[in-house]
Amino acid sequence: MRVAIGTDHAGLILKKYVVDAVQSLGHEILDVGVYGDEKVDYPDYAEKVGAAISSKSAERGILICGSGVGVCITANKMTGVYAAICHDTYSAHQGVEHDGMNVLCLGGRVIGPEPAMEIVVAFLNAEFIEDERFIRRFNKIKAIEAKRSSSHE
């Protein structure tokens, strides 16, 4: 699987651990930055990861900013991107299995390296469960997305 990873300066330290966790599972990394400790704006990197998901250049994405909130809000503005902040393993796998989540958001100033790596593993090992109730709910999410994007609200 190809995994797009993006951070702002507040996520840079945690990024190394996240990359290690992704690579330990044998997945390919699409690193959209940031690469140094320069101060940057998180929406720029969330948009790059979201674009990779929308264009199908990557199957999953991981975003890190200080809290995880800013990148999550930004990513969810993009069509086909279903992002959530997860600071526990249950939410990370359940978000994929039940809700079709394809972008994991982490707070670099909220969570430590070891829990983050376990969360990444849970997220990447999870697959959407093809159960009627989960499909129905996910289709409702996509219908809302389509309705809102076509009405430009």
Residues noted as catalytic: 65, 98
- Sheet containing 28-31, strands listed edge to edge, beginning at the edge strand earlier in sequence: 28-31, 2-7, 60-65, 103-107, 83-85
Q: How would DSSP label each residue in 14-40?
A: HHHHHHHHHHHTTPEEEE----SS---
Q: Copy the structure tokens of residue 152.
A: 């430009």
Cβ atoms of residues 71 and 45 within 8 Å:
yes
